[in-house]
Structure 1
Amino acid sequence: MSAATLLLPLTESVPGLAAPCPMHPAVDEVGVELARWARGFGLETHPSAGFERMAGRAFADSGVDAVLLFAKWLTWLFHFDDEWDEKPAGRVAETVENAFARLARIAGPPAGSRPPGDDRFTPRSPVETAFADLWEATAGRMSPRWRRRFLAGLAAQGRACRAEAENRCAGRVPSPGEYPRLRRGTAGPYLFELVEPCLGVEVPARLRWNVTWRILVDACNDVTAWCNDVASHPKERANGDVHNYVTVAATAFGLSDGGAVAWVNRRIARRAGDLRAATGRLPALFDRFGLSAGQSRQIGRVAYAFLAAPRAQLEWLLESGRYDGRGLAAPEAVP
């Protein structure tokens, strides 16, 4: 049984997690193409991972290209994430820092402006080669401003993963106060920038940095990251990994596993409420910024993807073979 079943009580208390997501009709074709792409870059992915199904739910009403591009990025992100979560490199801060620096160079200056013979820009590993392919397919669709946003998110993840490595090495469990921001960084902030190129929409800078939009994006990040923590806790605990919200709660408050899961679930429910409330404020915000009806519809598609993401992820967590649910008690009531 998947540990993701411990998230099911949320479907009764969180409106955004209650209703099943529609699935993109071409999800099976996307899965075949995704597997071919991953094999081509040496990214060994178990068939039960089902990243195309998460993308197919998040972009159920979009074109096949949108689903496939996002599924590729998800596949890449989880392989990259496993470099730190499941291997000794995740405990060596300098190794983490160097890996992110190499990705930044690969995504940096255009090929024609790079010094000839400088292999610092040449992908070496399957993860780097796949990243270069995805960056080439994605960045050309977007403005320099968006590309800077993506790279800033990549740098933020690098800083968070370095801090995570230092904590792992020291055996230090983050406090409940510091963990949410740290987890938001390790989740990959750039993942939430990818909705725009997948949909062929770019959110104007003045809206992108508005507090309501920031809450929308950050709340989506938090809800999906914390749900992932509940589902992955048995696996990460078995690996001795202390960077998990369930572990953080259990350590800080002296809770059992079940009590810690219930505590995290309550935080998820509250943050999902922030996500829903921010979405409800968008029509008035669009009017205030003077967006046309067409612009509002296009940007609304981006917002809807954020609103749909938590339920899409929950369904994926329940059906994916990525996480093993052994060893975690049922959630207890927490006052």
Structure 2
Amino acid sequence: MTAGGSGRDTASGHLPVMYRQCLEALQVKPEGTYLDGTFGRGGHARGVLELLGPGGRLLVMDKDPEAIAVAGREFGADPRVVIFRGSFAQLAQWEATAGGLDGVLFDLGVSSPQLDVAERGFSFGKDGPLDMRMDPESGESAAQWLSHASDKEIADVLWTYGEERMSRRIARAIVSRRVEQPITRTAQLADLIASVVPRGEQKIHPATRSFQAIRIFINRELADLEDGLVAAHARLKAGGRLAVISFHSLEDRIVKQFIARHAKAPPANRRMPVEIPFTPTLKAIGDARKADEAETASNPRARSAVLRVAEKLPEAA
């Protein structure tokens, strides 16, 4: 799942989400250069590395310093591997990508290790500091932002990134509560949301959408995705593959529209006096793919995973 990868670890006998499908999609060539923009705990990266020969290269990136520490411990001695701490939105600025890439993988969202550690503040199921930053050394934490944001700002974030129908009610409750007591813990925020949102027949916790929305906003996940797709497109060689795993509709819509924008001519506009020529630069490889039943049975987090794949086309002569 970004800056993090889906998080299940091949070293411990588990595979990351859609592991087999991702490796098939990338069509790894032994002497190629591949970038894993969301290293996480290295599940997909290990799979790519196993397919590379002595002349191949694996470039790995992650915002999370803990993920980068894992990459250094496990791959730092391998001359084929180069490691960079930062968002994949910056990949075109990384000198190691300047020679072009044969494949790029983004596994979006929050990783299992991040969710499972209460101190990271991503999960309302585990009480911890309300942080939510994938890079805990950069930017505001969720608690810091909620301490000063207006109710309108909070409501807009909850609606835009979480499609939370009770966004205004939740935002007003947050602003009212923080006057009495700072909201600094995940359990505080989750309990507050649950107290103002009727559970009804919904199966998910009332705080699910709000936590997702705040996390996406704090980490600029959608903006980074848009920038990262542009950067990947710029660095891919002809025939290179782009593989992106999304976990909710906002991410998947961005990926789908990006691929379509570069693969299909825009609809004709009868008001335009001159037709604008269009040259496709990407080719969509198949339809959106989902995890199979066996995987979703063993890993419920795979149920919402969607994989989209595209191939960079040669430049027109």
Q: What's the TM-score once normalised by structure 1's chain length? A: 0.30
> Which of the pair is proportionally richer in helix?
1
- Which has more strand, going by share of residues? 2
Q: Which has the higher contact order (CA 8 A, sep 6+)?
A: 1
Larger radius of gyration: 2
Q: TM-score w.r.t. structure 2 length?
A: 0.31
